[in-house]
Structures are given as C-alpha cells and as structure tokens.
Amino acid sequence: MNILKHLESFFVFAGNLIWGYPLMVLLVGTGLWLTLALRGLQFRYLWHALYLALIKRKEEGDEPGDITHFQALMTALSATVGTGNIAGVATAIAAGGPGALFWMWITGLVGMATKYAEAVLAVKYRVRDKYNTMSGGPMYYISRGMGLKWLGTVFAIFAAIAAFGIGNMVQSNSVADAVQATFHIPVYVTGLILMVATGLVILGGIKSIGRVTAFLVPVMIVIYMGGALVIIIMKANLIPAAIGLIIKYAFTPTAATGGFLGAGVMLTIRMGVARGVFSNESGLGSAPIAAAAAQTKHPVTQALVSMTQTFIDTIIVCTMTGLVLILTNSWDIGKTGAELTSIAFSKGLPGNWGNSIVAIGLILFAYSTMLGWSYYGEKSVEYLMGEKAVQPYRLVFVLFVGIGALLKLNLVWALADVFNGLMALPNLIALLTLSPVIVRETRNYFSDNQLYGKKN
C-alpha cells in the first residue's frame, strides 16, 4: 500500500508539472497561431461546417473511409462530451469563479482551429490496413509527414496507456458510483453490465462504434441540454447579469462569498483553460484518430466537420452547465465537481428531476467516452504492434472496464493526467511543424471549390 501511495504522489506531482503554465500556453498558443495562419477559418466557415456535420452528414458517391462524417464526429464527441462537461465545468467555476467560463470560451474558440488542423493532417496522412480499414492520427502524420517515426511511436505509447485510464477505468468507476448512489445497484453488477455493453460494441470495430455513437451521443446531449435549457429559460431574466458576472470576473479577482474562498485572475485563467482543454481535447491528438476513418475525398471537408466538435462540446454544452451553476446561485456554496452540478440542477428543476438528469448524463457520457477511447487505444496499439494485436487489445480493454468499476482510482486518475499531457507534446510539435501543409491544403480546397473560393 505504501508503494501505491508513493506512486500516486509521484504521478500527482508529475501531472501538476506537465499540466502547468508552459503546456497551457503551448496549447492555447498553438490554437492562436493556427487561427492567424488560417485567417480565422473557424469563424468564417462555422455555419458551413455545421451544415456538413449535422445536415449533409456524408459526401456523395463512394469515398474512401469507413464511417460517415457524422459518425466520425459522433465518435469523437463520444470521447470528449463526458464527465468534464458535468464535473469539469463545476470544478473550474468552484475554484476560479464565474470568470473561468470566459476562459473556457477562449480555449474553445482557438481550439476549433487546432481541431481543424489535426483532422486535416489525419486524413491527409492516413493509410489503409490489410483489413481494408483506415488508420490515421498523430502517430501517422508525425511519422509520414515529419519523417520522425520514433516520435510517432512515442505518441502511440502514451495514447495506448492513457486509454486505459481516462478512457476506461475512470469512466466505469464514475458510472458504477453514480448508479449505486442514485439507483442503489451494486458496483459489481454495474461493472458486469458495462463489460457486456462495451464488448458488444467495440468488438465490432469502428463501424459498430460509429453506428452506436451516432445514435447515443445526440440522445445523451439532448437529455442533458434539455434539462439545462429548461432552467436557463425559467431564469432568462437573470442571464444579462450572469453574462456580466462572467466577463467581470474574467479580468478581476473574485471576492470570497458564501462557501467560495475567492480567486485571483491567474487562477481563474488557469482553471478555465485547463478544464476547457480537458473537456474538448483540442491539441491532445485523440480526436484526429476518429477523423481519419471518415468517408471523405478531401482532408478539409472532414476537418470542417471535426472542428464543430469543439464548438458543440465547449461553446454549447459547457456553457449551459456554467450558466445553470451561476443562474441558480450554486457556484459559491463550497461544493465542487459532479456534486455541485447535481445541486444546481436540483435547485433549478422541481422534484428529483435535477438529480436524475445529472446521474443519467454521467452514465451516458462516461459510457460513450469508453467507446470513443477504446478506438483511440486500439489504433495506437495497431500502429505499435500491427493488426494482429487489435482483437486481443479489445478483449483486455473490456476486462479493465469491469475492474475499473470495482476500484478506487486516485492512482489511475493521476496516471491518466500524466499520459494525456504527454500525448499533447508530440502532437503540438507536429501541428506547428506541419502548419504550412495545413494552410496549403486549406487554400487548395477553397480555391478549387467555386462556391467558397469566391470568398477568399
């Protein structure tokens, strides 16, 4: 036990070191650089991107790839719309005050350019394996685009390990705890159900994952956002004051009130940026692995779809959580995480609806995260060991879903933080190095497209 405690302390220290200001600056700075290099593409073409993602959904004809634009987007969203949207936003505002939500917005807006760039490279440098499925992501654009195979291997190792933490055991443990607290079902029962439910989906590969997430993600977002929207509408007269509070405390210290201990501007920025990045994963290099599987004839088409993931995750879902916390005057009561969000929803909705919506949201969000991250880990292992390792990996992943439901995971959380941060470093190096390729692909696409070429 002492060894585990020492390991936990070491990884907590390492996580705090890795996720310090240098990485925060690098993540946001890369997004700013790409925003400038692409001339604010995420703002100019947002509506067209949303049209491609949510209305058109797939291209005409038989395009290379395994799943549609929409399924690729939903697979990526399944991994990012998760506990960070419920617990992460509450943690940021509870520690940094209402102004933290403003810095989450900034992180999301520049992160859209990062997510776009990741997807351009993922599709451009993807390959087809012997099973006739697409493989891509940072490990491929690092090795094929930069010529640094060793660095691509490093990324794949970090991603494969991180998948068992933040994408597996942490999520199954969150579901088991939520189900036990709300529905009084033993954790081992939940663990077995999750193993079966996860195995039935991921053993079928990306096409199976794509079909399930294309159904599950919209349902879970609508349920959670529906509850939040009811509260926001009921308290619509307070919205201007809430927005004013967010903007005011983004640039000035938040005074101690109620159970809130107060926060300086730097803490507010750090919490907003950190939780924003954790929520949308822009720059970590996970989402482009799903983007590479999309049926598309040009990298930019899927990249436009991919950048809507960050918009939906941070600008829409996180904002709604934050507004509920502020409008119900729950952010300063001295609670944090999912408990705080549950309290806010309970104050805003009659009866037990608030608790139920948050609990169901946690269950669906965490389960969908496991599906998305299973694919990320699978493709990382395939890159490292070949296609023969995929099926054994899926079986081991399913086994650890059950194990995670039974364990207390402080050490796993700490490990996940470390390896998520380590994933970001080689990916950001690749994005900055290959930014001329991203710009060139973008210019070629819009110059060839008569409808949008006239706008440039």
Q: How large is the average pLDDT for residues 367-377?
A: 89
The structure's pTM equals: 0.90
Using CA atoms, how far apart are residues 358 and 344, in angstroms rounded to an integer?
A: 10
* 428 close to 28: Cβ distance less than 8 angstroms: no
Angle at CA 408, nearest 5°, toward 407 and 414? Answer: 120
Is the pLDDT score of 380 beyond 90? yes
Would you place residue 61 in the very low, low, confident or very high pLDDT band (cuts 50, 70, 90)?
A: low
**Residue 58 above 70 pLDDT?**
no
Cα angle 404-406-407, degrees, rounded to a multiple of 5: 70
227 Cβ contact partners less than 8 Å away, ≥ 6 residues apart? 345, 349, 353, 354, 357, 361
Which of the four pLDDT bands, split at 50, 70 and 90, describes residue 454? very low
Taking residues 67-85, report their average pLDDT.
77
Residues forming a β-bridge with 263: 254
- Alpha helices by DSSP H, 125-204: 138-140, 149-164, 170-183, 187-202
Least confident stretch, 157-166, 224-233, 435-444 = 157-166
Residue 259 has pLDDT above 70, yes or no: yes
Q: Is the pLDDT of residue 326 over 90?
A: yes
Mean pLDDT of 245-268: 85
In whole angstroms, give the CA distance from residue 338 to residue 85: 9
Q: What is the pLDDT of residue 236?
A: 94
Digit-coded pLDDT (tens) for 229-255? 999 999 999 999 999 999 999 999 887
d(CA 88, CA 82): 9
**Interior/surface letters 247-265, b for 16+ CB within 10 angstroms, e for the rest:** eebbeeebeeeeebeebeb
Q: Kindly list the domain boundaries of the chain, sorted by start residue.
A: 8-446
Which class does domain 8-446 fall in?
A: mainly alpha
Count Cα neighbours of 218 within 13 Å in the Cβ-side half-sphere: 10
| Tokens 């806010």, located at residue | 344
Tokens standing for 22? 């240098």
**Residue 293 and residue 133 in contact, taking contact as beta carbons nearer than 8 Å:** yes
d(CA 97, CA 103): 11
